[in-house]
Amino acid sequence: MNDSGAPSGPRAASGDPPDRTAGGSGAGRRRLWPWSLLRYGAAIAVLAVILVYFVVPELRQAHLSELAHIGVPWLIAGVLLEGISLLCYSLLTRSLLPPQGPKLLTVFRIDMSCTALGHVVPAGSAASAAFGYRLFTGAGVQAGDVYFMMASQGPGSSVVLNLLLWAALLISIPLTGFHRIYLGAGLAALAALVTAATLVYLFTRGEERVVRLTRCVLARIPRVREDAAEPVVRAIAAAVRSFRSDPRRMRRALAWATVNWLVDAGSLWCFLAALGHYADPVVLFAAFGIANVAAAIPLTPSGLGVIEVTLPLLLAADGVTKGVATLAVIGWRFANFWLPIPVGAAAYLSLRLPRRGPVRTRHPARRAPLAPGEAQAEGDRPVPRARPARPGWPVIGG
């Protein structure tokens, strides 16, 4: 695969048609749609069960009278911190791209578009990844750099979260005592760290092993060529080596990922403070980290329903009243989950708007009348307007 994302190699050079058995044809998509429908139906069913049997009863038990004394400045601060968290995530994305990549505003709009899609589609990580690949390559980023960014952004952010969770657990145990859930959270964090370290080692020291393993796996999948993923693996490995050779980019990525999680947890703290409870920051981050680790299981879009159930229980175990914890988490999730959906839709619309430069024509009053038989000068001809973008493909500017 070349830098533009198009197929390369002998097959592309010979002009042969693309492999339709790999899912590119309409017939292949028609064969796959029952499985997609089943997956979507299962995700919706799981979400409905969580909402009906867990979230709704918690809302009924919450003391809604506490909303009468809510602190509006803390609510505003919580929403602003959530916006800053999203900006920090875009700064993380920008640090993983080459220095000559798109501007921060373009990266922010693409990230918000992908976030909105991931929040409304079951198993939204795969859909938002494919969507983000199209948007970033449309913005001029080479395919290999997009592969690396997507392969390292989510897992790298999760690694940072697990490191922060480990630190919060070690600090909170002397303060609140040891809970059995801490053991499971610590083991899950350790497994994530070991997996991330193994992947980094394989892509830096064992590239050929990864290629051979990928070939072996794909060879056992019907209608898929065993060398289909080799260009992707080699592009990711090259981007990893380039990223490791630039310590400044590594430090920026680590810093923005850390700030993203801390500011997000700070937003939750503000929603609790709006209800009159000032939680211990370390204890709150331990509950915040455990809930986000549990939400990583791809049952519902972005952990919808999982966080709403897990986080109030963890906060209640640390001394927050159950009603306050439920109301604070629901308010925080409005800013964290629901608010980015319309913002991301608006961001995507702004990406699709074509950029038209000024149309310069000669003023009719300054144009001399044409003599009979005289041809019109080139500068006097009207300049055609820019053609609108092709439907379905964004025009990205920034």
DSSP string of 22-73? GTTSHHHHHHHHHHHHHHHHHHHHHHHHHIIIIIHHHHHHS-GGGGGG--HH
Q: Are 269 and 279 in contact, with CB atoms under 8 Å apart?
A: yes
225 within domain boundaries: yes
113 within domain boundaries: yes
384 within domain boundaries: no
**Predicted local confidence at residue 31, as pLDDT:** 46
Alpha-carbon gap, residue 165 to 142, rounded angstroms: 34
**Predicted local confidence at residue 4, as pLDDT:** 39
Residue 258 structural domain: 70-353
Domain count, the chain: 1
Could you give the C-alpha distances from 207 to 25, 143, 200, 220, 238, in angstroms and in order? 32, 18, 10, 21, 9
209 within domain boundaries: yes
Structural Rg of the chain based on CA atoms: 26
Q: Which letter, b or e, does each residue of 205-224 get, where b requires 16 or more Cβ atoms within 10 Å of its Cβ? A: eebeebbeebbeeeeeeeeb
96 within domain boundaries: yes
227 within domain boundaries: yes
- Using 70 as the pLDDT threshold, list the residues of the chain that sit under it: 1-68, 122-124, 176-186, 196, 200-207, 224, 226, 228, 239, 242, 298-301, 354-398
**Predicted local confidence at residue 378, as pLDDT:** 47
50 within domain boundaries: no
DSSP 204: H
For 19, the token pair is: 């492999």
Torsion of the alpha carbons at 113, 119, 125 and 126, rounded to the nearest 10: -80
319 within domain boundaries: yes
